[in-house]
Amino acid sequence: MAYTQDELKQQVAKAAVEYVKEGIIGVGTGSTANFFIEELAKVKHKIEGAVASSEATAQRLRAHGIEVFDLNNIDGMDIYVDGADEITEHLHMLKGGGGALTREKIVAAVARQFICICDETKYVPTLGKFPLPVEVLPMARSYVARELVKLGGQPALRNFTTDNGNVIIDVHGLNITDPVAMEAKINQIVGVVTNGLFAARPANVLLLATADGVKTYK
Ligand code: 5RP
């Protein structure tokens, strides 16, 4: 049976709720994460609350009556659940299509397990077909763009301001054969806050919605 992309997102969101046990849950940003929030709301009695990776997610969680905690007031969480723009068999991800990459990476760093929820269109052999988002301090945007050209990319400034008051440069045309090295290299450019490669800390579990059901990769 053929499912729509939204149906696949909903199925994978339901599968992710199986990982919700108790305590505080880290919640990502984007349309797949939004489906997860709908499912999380159904089991909200089991949890203490959530940490949000964006203002949009915080608002949505609160609208469902889920308490949102400041990350600084908690000392850990079992799981962080979020989507991705691309993910490989090594569970390296490219994220930030929604511009929330920095807060996503911070919340993910605190979580013991990153549960990535995706539909099968996101599963790729190599990262980089989707333009790589880089969050940059506004005064550094031209300098950073020139440095990104030296790495072989074509930078394009997104018409967007992040929750942290910064800009996003989307880098097209990068051939990302070594995501761990590329993540570190871009982070070393002065003025870069974060880039959307989640390779140094990949996902722990990938729940992938396919036409044949939700598959689990670890
Ligand atoms: C937001 C993200 C999202 O996880 C990513 O863009 C996937 O979004 P969607 O679930 O809407 O396809 O990294 O910054």
Number of helices (H) and strands (E) in the chain: give both, helices first: 6, 13
Q: Is the pLDDT of residue 171 over 90?
A: yes
Residue 216 CB coordination number (10 Å): 11
- Looking at the CA of residue 31, tell me the nearest atom of ligand 1: 11
CA atoms within 13 Å, Cβ hemisphere of 126: 9
Read off the pLDDT of each residue in 137-162 and give the average, rounded to a whole number: 98
Please state, rounded to an integer, the average pLDDT across all residues of the chain: 97
Could you read off the pLDDT of 67-96 as tens digits, one per residue?
999 999 999 999 999 999 999 999 999 999
- Closest among 139, 136, 183 to 155, alpha carbons compared: 136
Q: Which of 7, 8, 29, 194 to mutate to test ligand 1, by most ligand atoms within 8 A of the CB atom?
A: 29
Q: Which residues contact 150 (CB under 8 A, 6 or more apart)?
A: none
Q: Is the pLDDT of residue 137 over 80?
A: yes
Distance of CA 83 from the midpoint of ligand 1 (Å): 5
Q: Is the pLDDT of residue 135 over 80?
A: yes
Read off the pLDDT of each residue in 171-190 and give the average, rounded to a whole number: 97
Contact 202 CB / ligand 1 (< 6 Å): no
Residue 2's pLDDT is: 82
Three-state SS string across 62-110, please? HHCCCCECCHHHCCCEEEEEECCCEECCCCCEECCCCCCHHHHHHHHHH
- Looking at the CA of residue 30, tell me the nearest atom of ligand 1: 11
Read off the pLDDT of each residue in 129-148 and give the average, rounded to a whole number: 98
What band does 99 get if pLDDT is binned at 50, 70 and 90?
very high
Least confident of 1-15, 114-128, 160-174, 188-202: 1-15
Could you read off the pLDDT of 18-59 as tens digits, one per residue?
999 999 999 999 999 999 999 999 999 999 999 999 999 999
- Looking at the CA of residue 97, tell me the nearest atom of ligand 1: 6
Q: Is the pLDDT of residue 1 over 80?
A: no
Q: Is the pLDDT of residue 110 over 80?
A: yes
Contact 195 CB / ligand 1 (< 6 Å): no
Q: Which residues contact 110 (CB under 8 A, 6 or more apart)?
A: 26, 51, 71, 74, 76, 77, 80
Q: Which residues are annotated as a binding site for substrate?
A: 29-32, 82-85, 95-98, 122
In one letter, which amino acid is 101? Answer: L
- Please indicate whether residue 86 is annotated as part of the active site: no
Predicted complex ipTM: 0.98
Q: Check 38, 48, 67, 104 and give the catalytic one.
A: 104
